């Protein structure tokens, strides 16, 4: 005979229902990513082949932008699957940081591609080359259609998921670049002003470089354990101090495990009259941090009698280095 109360059965049913909804949501996002990746890959092949065929540097530049989008889509999909891998005794944070390392590789590769395109564009500014404008226009139209379809597959999930939203904006940005190639193709078709091909390429290089620098800056900020941009430390501390039973906050650290997971550790000085409710107070703080700052990984230590006058932000120090044998020897 079951020992569960009716409320327990209700909670279990609700938990199963939530897990099923979460599984369906993950399946929908994954399917959207797979379709978007397939369409973007077709666009990349078409623009690379078309760029060499039509001798259009603008089309090849857009292909480099499409490559950035394809990498971003694959990275986002990989992050979804890597996040499912359980933590282990050798990786207590799991595989979430893999996203950041991939971002560093992505950003560095994009900068190298941008410099290569810029050098070729400068040469074509000095000596413009003829371009098959009509064929370039048709291939750019195909790329635009593919980008819009891919964006539509991600748009429905982009409002609530930062990972999906970043991928959606990548694809949307490439659609805008395709519009620039189309406009350039039309103008060259009627004016044969082929120098415009190099000018459009330079504009796309600026877009690629700006995106690459942002990726590198954000990845570096996370690897250096920086405070996430959406968090104001002073505001966060004020709200924590305003919680009933909290006297003060010390030794606070806030950092990102990856771009979607924020962690916090702190020492909590509990008011003397509330010391028996320490667990309740920390639970209230956890709920505050989750609701207001999306901080889901917290470690808070109460009853910190040894740091009542300590700083809010703790300055870390290296442990003393052991002297080598040579330094310990006395000179005679």
- Contact yes or no for 132/55 (Cβ under 8 A): yes
Pairing of strands 295-302, 246-258: unpaired
Burial bucket for residue 211 (CB in 10 Å: 0-12, 13-18, 19+) = buried
Q: Which residue has the tokens 């959406």?
A: 230
What are the structural domains of the chain?
A: 6-223 (1.20.1510.10), 225-332 (3.30.70.1350)
- Give the count of alpha carbons within 13 A of 47, CB side only: 31
pLDDT value at residue 188 = 85
- Contact yes or no for 110/208 (Cβ under 8 A): yes
Torsions phi, psi of 208, nearest 5? Answer: -60, -45
* H-helix or E-strand spanning residue 221: helix 195-223
- Tens digit of pLDDT at every position of the chain (332 positions): 444 444 444 444 444 443 444 444 456 677 888 888 898 899 899 989 988 998 888 888 888 878 877 887 887 788 778 777 888 888 888 888 877 877 787 778 778 878 877 887 888 788 887 788 888 888 888 888 888 888 888 776 555 555 566 667 677 777 777 788 888 888 888 888 888 888 888 888 888 788 778 878 888 898 899 999 889 999 999 999 999 999 999 889 999 988 778 999 999 999 888 888 999 999 999 999 999 999 999 999 886 555 555 667 767 776 676 655 555 545 44
- The 3-state DSSP class for residue 310 equals coil
Pairing of strands 295-302, 261-270: parallel
pLDDT value at residue 211 = 77
Between the alpha carbon of residue 288 and those of residues 43, 49, 191, 241, 259, the distances in Å are 45, 54, 62, 11, 20
pLDDT value at residue 16 = 44
**Cα separation, 213 vs 228, whole angstroms:** 17
Q: Which residue has the tokens 């539509």?
A: 152
- The 3-state DSSP class for residue 252 equals strand
Sign of the alpha-carbon torsion through 131, 132, 138, 139: negative
Q: What's this model's pTM, rounded to 2 decimal places?
A: 0.69
- Give the count of alpha carbons within 13 A of 43, CB side only: 33
């Amino acid at each position: 005979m079951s020992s569960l109360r009716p409320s327990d059965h209700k909670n279990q049913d609700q938990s199963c229902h939530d897990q099923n909804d979460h599984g369906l949501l993950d399946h929908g996002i994954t399917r959207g990513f797979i379709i978007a990746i397939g369409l973007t890959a077709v666009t990349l092949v078409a623009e690379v082949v078309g760029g060499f065929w039509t001798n259009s540097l603008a089309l090849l530049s857009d292909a480099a932008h499409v490559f950035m989008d394809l990498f971003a889509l694959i990275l986002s999909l990989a992050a979804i699957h890597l996040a499912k891998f359980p933590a282990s005794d050798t990786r207590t944070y799991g595989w979430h940081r893999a996203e950041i390392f991939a971002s560093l590789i992505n950003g560095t590769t994009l900068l190298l591609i941008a410099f290569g395109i810029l050098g070729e564009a400068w040469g074509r500014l000095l000596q413009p080359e003829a371009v098959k404008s009509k064929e370039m226009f048709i291939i750019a139209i195909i790329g635009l259609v593919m980008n819009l379809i891919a964006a539509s597959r991600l748009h429905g999930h982009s409002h609530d998921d930062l990972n999906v939203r970043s991928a959606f904006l990548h694809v949307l940005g490439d659609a805008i670049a395709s519009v620039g190639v189309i406009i350039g193709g039309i103008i060259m078709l009627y004016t044969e002003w082929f120098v415009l091909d190099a000018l459009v390429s330079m504009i796309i290089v600026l877009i690629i470089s700006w995106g690459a620098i942002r990726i590198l800056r954000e990845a570096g900020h996370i690897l250096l354990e920086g405070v996430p941009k959406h968090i104001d430390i002073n505001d966060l501390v004020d709200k924590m101090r305003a919680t009933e039973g909290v006297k003060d906050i010390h030794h606070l650290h806030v950092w990102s495990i990856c771009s979607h997971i924020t962690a916090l550790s702190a020492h909590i000085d509990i008011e003397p009259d509330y010391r028996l409710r320490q667990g309740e107070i920390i639970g209230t703080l956890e709920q505050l941090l989750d609701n207001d700052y999306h901080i889901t990984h917290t470690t808070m230590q109460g009853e910190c009698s040894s740091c009542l006058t300590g700083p809010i932000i703790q300055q870390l120090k290296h442990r003393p280095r052991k002297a080598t044998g040579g330094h310990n020897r006395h000179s005679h």
